[in-house]
Amino acid sequence: MLALTLLFALMAFFRLGNTYAPRTAYTALAENPDIVLDFGAYVDIGSISLYLNCQSNRHFTLSAYNEVTGKWELFNESATASSVFTWNRLDVNYNLRYLGLVALESDTILNELVAVTTEGDVIRPANAEEYPELFDEQDMFPEYVTYMDGTMFDEVYHGRTAYEILHGLPIYETTHPHLGKILISLGIALFGMTPFGMRFLPAIFGILMVPLIYLFAKRLFRNTFCAAATTFLLVFDCMHFTLSRIATIDIFAAFFILLMYYFMYRYIEADTAYRAESIGHSATAQSKFPPRQVFVPLALCGVSMGLGIATKWTGVYAGAGLALLFLLHTVRYSPGRQTLRLFFFCCAFFILIPLVLYALSFLPVVTYTEYSNLPEKVIRCTQSMFRYHSGLKDKHYYSSPFYEWPVIWMPLLAASNAVGAAKVSSVNYMGNPAIWWPGIFCCLYVLFRWIFRRDRQAGFLSIAWLAQYIPWIPVPRLTFIYHYFPASIMMILCMGYTFSRVIRGFGGKGRAAVVAYLTIAACCFALFYPLVSGYPFYRDWGLHLRWLKDWVLVL
């Protein structure tokens, strides 16, 4: 467990992101929106790059001063810098001495401005001292802009909102509860608003999932080899790797979902043993509330569920699965005189505490709304979130319906940047084909074992998998492959169950077959590593790995 955890920690933190980024800020005030740069002599300016603060979609006009006519010549009246906390390139391609930049939105905040000649050289304006905040961190401008230097994909929402929460600003992203963004803000507090700082806590939670799934698998299968093999699959799954290295909330939600099912299994296991020991005991003994080793896992399960829902609503799907598992267990082992106490216990830990945790996640946003109290804010925000998700029907090239996720029909390209003439840095959301494709059959096998063999362990895993997958079927909104991630974690546990059956049936040969398969899975991960990690590689490599026709893994 420790070896696999250390291995994944090294993988997660390797080139996670730069530990630096422009921080000092210049504000183009409404009464003085002009920035005039004097390069001292006429020079061919190819482009300028702006590092935005927490304001997206800033619009500018670009003009050059004509010393002959004495007038400014407008050559771009609608230049747009769209992404926050990253470099935004605006093409100039003009021979000039004086460059005029006018911010069209009031109080536009820029952390840095870099001018580049048509030959690719950074040039510093002669009057840079007039705008000290714009030209004091020029050395942070990279030769090639990649994910290492700024935000990518939904980091422009979640990373930005985490920054706003930390600094007490009105928040931008309000389509999810805020616990995940609060966690991201802790990394920013420690390491600054840098790519590394944004991604630090997601990486930590991705790492923590490794020992958690090991402990879960060890408890499920009672076999060290099967637990290690199951954990090995998580370590070398591309989706888990990518989501652990990006400042979004999905890794937090998946961690809490895995944690709540782990505690539910521990509860069922402990309560089953307790009920077996209670047979033949006096009525007085049986009327007492279950001992600590029984009710503590159940309480922790409820708290984990609350944390999951406070991160993302997919925690509600997991809660439905927990409710079904709890109900099936309770019906099988009737708690008798303990029923009423157990009912109130569950009301406290599966209703009251989750509601409190959910409500507390909205504390950072209460101050900046017209609603004066937390309960009203929670209700209004929840209604707003529901309207957003139920009405999200926009089209997106990388969107995919639920039936495409297990087969990885449409990976999601989160970042793709040229690194020289032939290389590219690419980050994709996709599963490891050597894990996800066989995982389909393993889930069906486990489902078969539950339905036709009445295997309770198979039933637990089947319900856990289906609870994360089935609710997406009727969802009308735009969906993406990463929505399958919590279900894929349960799929990996189903694969561990299959390993245990193979080893039980074939002994040493079964173990050797599992080792051979794990080797193939690791090799497949190595094959796709450049495309999910952002490590620069030759573009042709990505084109050769287009195994399905809809795979667009590089641009």
Q: Identify the structural domains of the chain with CATH numbers, from first to last.
A: 26-136 (2.60.120.260), 158-222+249-393 (no CATH)
CA-nearest of 69, 68, 57, 60 to 36 is 60
Q: For residues 277, 278, 282 and 285, what is the CA-based torsion angle, rounded to 10 degrees?
A: 110
Q: What would the pLDDT profile of 36-58 be if each residue is shown by its tens digit?
A: 999 999 999 999 999 999 999 99
pLDDT at 291: 84
DSSP letters for 194-236: SHHHHHHHHHHHHHHHHHHHHHHHHHHH--HHHHHHHHHHHHT
Q: What would the pLDDT profile of 3-39 be if each residue is shown by its tens digit?
A: 999 999 999 999 999 999 999 999 998 888 999 999 9
CA 67/CA 482 separation, integer angstroms = 55
Q: Which helix (H) or strand (E) holds 33?
A: none
DSSP letters for 38-64: EEEEEEEEEEEEEEE-S--SEEEEEEE
Q: Are 491 and 439 in contact (CB under 8 A)?
A: yes
Q: What mean pLDDT is reported for the chain?
A: 93
pLDDT at 372: 61
Q: Are 465 and 449 in contact (CB under 8 A)?
A: no
Quote the DSSP letter at residue 133: G
pLDDT at 435: 98
**Torsion sign over Cα 135, 139, 144, 150:** negative
Instruction: For residue 467, list its beta bridge partners.
Output: none
State how far the alpha carbon of 303 is from the alpha carbons of 263, 320, 348, in Å. 10, 15, 10
**Which backbone phi and psi does 117 adopt, to 5 degrees?**
-75, 170
Lowest-confidence region among 117-131, 357-371, 422-436: 357-371
Q: Span 157-179, mean pLDDT?
A: 93
Percent of the chain with pLDDT over 90: 83
DSSP letters for 167-197: TTPPPS--SS-SHHHHHHHHHHHHH-SSHHH
SS3 155: helix
What is the radius of gyration, based on Cα positions, of the chain? 27
On the question of pLDDT at 275 being above 80, the answer is: yes
**HSE value, Cβ hemisphere, 13 Å, CA-based, for 479:** 20
pLDDT at 340: 87
State how far the alpha carbon of 125 is from the alpha carbons of 41, 45, 116, 138, 497, in Å. 10, 11, 11, 12, 65
Q: What would the pLDDT profile of 495-528 be if each residue is shown by its tens digit?
A: 999 999 999 999 999 999 999 999 999 999 999 9
pLDDT at 31: 85
Q: How confident is the model at residue 369 (pLDDT cuts 50, 70, 90)?
A: low
Residue 540 CB neighbour total at 10 angstroms: 12
CA 75/CA 62 separation, integer angstroms = 6
Instruction: For residue 108, list its beta bridge partners.
Output: 28
On the question of pLDDT at 220 being above 80, the answer is: yes
Q: What would the pLDDT profile of 76-135 be if each residue is shown by its tens digit?
A: 998 999 999 999 999 999 999 999 999 999 899 999 999 999 999 999 999 999 999 999
CA-nearest of 292, 295, 218, 304 to 261 is 304
Q: How confident is the model at residue 368 (pLDDT cuts 50, 70, 90)?
A: low
Q: Span 386-402, mean pLDDT?
A: 87
In one letter, which amino acid is 72? W
DSSP letters for 82-113: --TTSEEEEEEEEEEEEEEEEESSTTEEEEEE
**Which backbone phi and psi does 315 adopt, to 5 degrees?**
-60, -25
SS3 310: coil
